[in-house]
Amino acid sequence: MRFRPGEPPEPVVTGIPSATIHNGGRIAFGPDRMLHAGTGDAGNAALAQDRGSLGGKILRVTPDGDVPDDNPFDGSPVWSLGHRNVQGLAWDADGRMWASEFGPDRDDEINRVEAGGSYGWPIVTGRSG
């Protein structure tokens, strides 16, 4: 949602599934000046690998909510997929994105995120190698 004084809230990205669990929710502007949003799978693990769903993803849009031309999947806000429940986003001094997410009972993860990458959920959780 975009909030401007004296105006009603305005949706920036719509269609993100929600539930009582796995709602993700971290948003941050990256060094590329794009808005990034970590989403959870809303308790439906299959959504994480489904490119047609915005659940279980890291999304990347312009500040106005448009899809940047250089996103990895044409016309899609999806930057990366295969996430369970993204809780943190950060960038290092070299501009590389890192994300933290909760595992099911343990196996929380910190991943260096690359455009178009799949981070394994629900097949892989925690250490993958």
Strand order in the sheet with 86-91: 86-91, 97-101, 109-113
Closest CA to 40 of 105, 94, 117, 100: 100
22 is catalytic: yes
Catalytic residue among 22, 60, 83, 84: 22
Active site residues: 22
